[in-house]
Structure formats: structure tokens, C-alpha cells
Amino acid sequence: MRPRPTTGQALALTAVAVAALVFGAAFAVDLGSARPDPVPFDRTVERGITMADAQIARNREISVPKVEVFYSQYRYVVGYAGVDMAVTALSEPGHEQQFGYPLAVYVSDYSDKPVRCGESNYLETDVPPDWVLASDASYVVDGRARVPSSPAIVPFADRGDAEAFAEDCGGRVVGWERIENRSFDVDEAETVREQVEPRRERAAAAVEGAQRYRDRPVSVVVGRDAATVQAGVDAAPPNTTVLVANGTYREQVTVDKPVTLRGAGATLDGRGNGTVVTVTADRAAVVGFEVVGIGNQTVGNRSASDSEAWDAAVTTAYGNSDAAVTGRNASGLYVADLAVDTPASGVVLRGSPGAVVENVTVDGTDDWRDGFMGVVAMHAPVVVRDSAFRGGRDGVYLHRADGTVIQNNTFTENRFGVHLMYTSRALVARNAARDQEYSGVVVMTDPAANAVVGNTVSDSGAGISMSGSRSYVADNVVVDTGRGLSTNAARSLYERNVLYGNDIGVAASTVVPSNIVTENDFVANERHAVSGPGPLRIYTHEGRGNYWGGAADLGGSAGPTLSQPYSPTDPVDRRLHQTDAAFVLRAAPSVRGLRALRGTTPGFRRGSIVDTAPLSTPANPETIAMLRNQTQREAST
């Protein structure tokens, strides 16, 4: 039986509850029905374009049609890069419930502008477009005009200008009523969920293809046919194996032809002079070595080819470090069965699509500030699997490596386990990270359509930190971190994750809430959830919410969901799993009235999370039982 709370406890919680709710009401804004004027786009809450695409658009002077929407119950103007993105957002279920109805929708106006299909049919204009009401515009669709990631929908205030553009760049002219009812081919989070298995299958096919390099016939045996490894590579015909016999070989090697370099008890020692093996040929392989004596340089010299790219600084800083193996424009490179001790990086892959890294152990520096990355992959998709990374800065670092698969790896004592920058459509699956200084998995720079599935993060600064949009985050287990899950990624799906024993279970910080958060388990966290500014976040989908430790004790239901809603950000509800006073206070008439008022008044919704159908039992009962038993064992020892 729960002990009765003291009068002081109840009064203190009542004061917190009333103060928080009244404070929220001060920010209620009634915009009425007046039509506001457009604002500069950089003053909106921008949505709909990845940072990589935005950088490409700026670098190549591509014009991206934009939309800005004023909502009746949202204090900020929301800006969408792309008409398709705006229409998709406006048609989302529950969108009006959270933001109210659109008071005004403006689109870019290319009338009377020198607009054209430029190089590669990218949309170009020398004069920035004006604004026109979306309902008054004519749109050119299905033409050749493009923006960085998709075909362009180009709006015009004057239908004649739209028809003239269609004659030059192809397409047809339609009105707003056709646009707002159109379904666009935008990867939503549910679509990304369906892509998880195909991504795994493509990765498995890439690995199977690369593993065939192990079976190439031996043409040269170093120590018998050649005195040095480099001499063996130079002598070997293409599509054969250079076998390196037992021993230590103190040299640096360049592989410039499609051969397999395979060790048989061999150690490659670079004597601290830089990268040990550099691969510049397609379909090459480096297999079966201990690699030591790697140089300690983490920043190389910028090459001439880097100087024109918008990401030249990043490419220089992160893509030119010393490493055990570096692949440069080496399509299909296979790196396997290596034991690497490095003060810098383990494997660096630049412009090497289809490269595979498997069964590699990288032992980095004890202090991550002194070292660098286990694997760096840039400008092309790769596969990294079944490997272990200890120490150094990041276990796996990706930069513009769209479509990469990282699975079944372990990360220990890094800064970040997996670190995505400007990388979309990646799969991060079934990895285990512990003792990370900051995060087990971190996704930065607003990419799209990433999947983070089935990972375990423990004893780290944070668990999984997402940004971008349209991502799928599911079946992860995050234990004993500062912040288990960060839902910075918009229009994303978070399901069946376990957040156990963290300081904060989930942090909701998107200014424009648009995520689906359902069937997750929040147990034994200091705080189950915190929320930044923004309208009400509803963590329920199709009648099913999440399991919240403490909320289940409210009772009132014999079915799969509770009869009462639960708000992990409510000053009373959030204490249900911590103090018995909260149960008494929650039933007080004054608190019930304030909770009802908050549910109907837009101003009271600011910065809150509500689960309207919390689960009565965990979504992942076996995982929760295992973690509880483990906690009890640790407490008894």
C-alpha cells in the first residue's frame, strides 16, 4: 500500500502544477482571421530540405521554390523548402489539431523573373522570387526543372508566365486545387520502415560480392617471390592474390590494381610515417593483417580536387587523416580481418562506393581528443559490420555517405559510437555502444530517411540523438544515459524503443512537432520526458500510446490501454513514479479542472506532451523484465 503524502508535499505539488499551467496561458495567441503579410523566409521555422541539399543549392545557385504558412494556433511562421514538402505536411493526420487551420499560405512567385532550366535542368533565376497566395498561383509540374533532390514545382502569379516556362522547360500548368490534393513521392517514416529489410539485403549482397575477393588465386608470395609487400603488389597480375607470409613488414604500401592483399600471420608496420596501406584501384582487398605504426596526423593537405567543393573544409579535416587503410576512389574495396592499433584513424574511405569493412578491430586512443575515427566514409555508401571500435573520437563517422549500412558492431569508450553528418538513407542496426562520452548514435545536419533500429546504448552521456526528418527509430534499448532519446528529427516514427534508467527518457525539442511516438517503454527514468517550446505533442498513434512507468498504477482499465491520459511533462503526472503524493494530488478537483482547461485552450498546450491512450503493460515485456532483474542483482551485490 502506498503511504499517504504529507500536507506539505501535496501543497507544494499543487503550487507547481497551478503555476506551470497559468504561466502557459500567458503565451496563448489568438491570431483571428486576419490575413498576415509574408515575412522573409529566414524568419520562418524552416522545414523540408536537408542541409546537404541546401549547401548544394547555395553552391550552384539553384533556386528552390518555397512556401510559408501562418497557422491559427501556432505562434511561428513555418517555411517549407519545396511545394511538395508543404502540401505533404498540410495533409498529415492530426496536423490541424496541433497547429490550427492555415490563415494564409504563400508560395514563391517567379512571374516577371528571368527563370530558366540551367545546368542539369536545375532551376535558376538571377532575381529572388516574390510571394503570392498559394490559391492565386499557377504551377508548372512534371517538367524538366529540378532542385537538388527532386523535380521542381514552380509557382507563378501570372498563368501566362507559367505557360511560357512550361514551353521552355516542359511540364503542364495546374492550379492550387490540383496541387493541394496531389500525393507526392516523399519518403515518409513509414516508408523508411519498409525499407529496412531491403537495405539489409542490399548490404548483404555487397558483402557477399566483396567476400569473393578472398578466393582469388595466389600469384605472388611475399618472402618467397618478392622481398617486400610493395614489390609483391607490383608484380601481381590483376584479379589475383598477394599472399604475405608470417612476419613483420616495415613499409607503406600502395595498391593500384584489383588484387587481394592477404596476410597469413603478417604484421604491417608503417613506422609512424603516415597511412600504411593506400588503395586507389577498384575491386581491391586488404585482408588478414595486424596493422601498427600508423602516423598520428588527423588533418591532411587539401588536394586540388577539394578546393571547389562546398564541403572542402570538412573533407580536408576528416578525410585525410593517417590510417591503417585508406581507399581513394576505390569502388568495391574490401577490408576485413584486421587488428589495428592507431593514434589516428583505422580505415578511411573517400569516394569508394560499395566498400565493405568487416571483422575489423580498431584500438584507438584512451582520450578521444588525442585520436580520430575508427572508420571514416565520405561521398559514397559503404557497409561496416561485425567490427569493434574502442577509444578514439568516433567509431564510425559518415559524411555525405548516403545509403551506408552500419550493423552488428560494438563501440566502447568513444566520443560518439556512430556519427552521421549530411548523410541520408543510412541504416544503423544491431550495434552495441557503451561508455560513450557523448552519444551512442548521433545524426546531425538535418538529413532525411535514416533508420536506426535494434541498437543498444548504455552508460553513456546520451543514447540516440536524431536530427533531420522522415527517419525511423525503432527497437532500440537505451539504459543509464543522461538523455536516452532525442526526437529532434521531424516527421519521424519512434516505436518499440526501451528507455530504462536514464536521467531523461526522451527529449522532444522540435519546434514544429510532427513525429509519431508509439509503443515505447519508459521505465525507471528520473524523468520520462521533457519538452521544448511548441504546440501540444500527442504521443499516441491509431489508439495506442506508450508504456510509462508509474502511469500504469492509475488503473481504470482491464484492456491494453489505460482509460486516463498521461502527460509526462505535467508537473503532477511526471512524479507518479517517484512520489506517492502525486497520486492524491492528481485526483484533486482543482487540478482536474486545470488539466481539462489545458486540453482545450491552445495557450495551455505550449511545451507539453500528452499520451491519450497509455499502454497498461510494456510493449517489450521481456526486455523490461531482463533489465529489472539486472538492476536488482546489481543492487544486491
HEC readout, 336-386:
EEEEEECCCCCEEEECCCCEEEEEEEEECCCCHHHCCCCEEEECCCEEEEC
Closest CA to 17 of 539, 545, 576: 576
Helix 589-600, helix 7-25: angle, nearest 10: 20
**What is d(CA 404, CA 601) in angstroms, rounded to the nearest whole number?**
45
pLDDT of residue 10: 34
**What is d(CA 606, CA 15) in angstroms, rounded to the nearest whole number?**
19
**Three-class SS of residue 470?**
coil
> What are the residues facing 397 on neighbouring strands?
376, 419
**What is d(CA 250, CA 58) in angstroms, rounded to the nearest whole number?**
47
Q: Residue 546 in contact with residue 568, Cβ under 8 Å?
A: no
Q: Residue 389 in contact with residue 368, Cβ under 8 Å?
A: no
pLDDT of residue 579: 58
The alpha carbons of the chain give a radius of gyration, in whole angstroms, of 28
Buried residues in 486-501 as b, exposed as e (16+ CB within 10 A): bbbbbbbbbbbbbbbb
pLDDT of residue 493: 95
Domain boundaries, the chain: 41-186
Phi, psi of 549 (to 5 degrees): -55, 125
DSSP code, position 73: T
**Three-class SS of residue 289?**
strand
Q: Residue 331 in contact with residue 284, Cβ under 8 Å?
A: no
**What is d(CA 100, CA 89) in angstroms, rounded to the nearest whole number?**
13
pLDDT of residue 185: 65
**What is d(CA 244, CA 224) in angstroms, rounded to the nearest whole number?**
9
pLDDT of residue 583: 44
pLDDT of residue 27: 26
Helix (H) / strand (E) element for 159: namely: helix 159-169
Closest CA to 612 of 536, 516, 520, 545: 545
Put simply, whether the predicted model's pTM sits higher than 0.75 gets the answer yes
> What are the residues facing 396 on neighbouring strands?
375, 418
Helix (H) / strand (E) element for 88: namely: helix 83-90
Q: Residue 613 in contact with residue 541, Cβ under 8 Å?
A: no
pLDDT of residue 95: 80
Those residues of the chain that have pLDDT short of 50 are 1-33, 304-307, 581-585, 597-606
In 524-619, where does DSSP find H-type helix? 581-586, 589-600
**Three-class SS of residue 537?**
strand
pLDDT of residue 7: 33
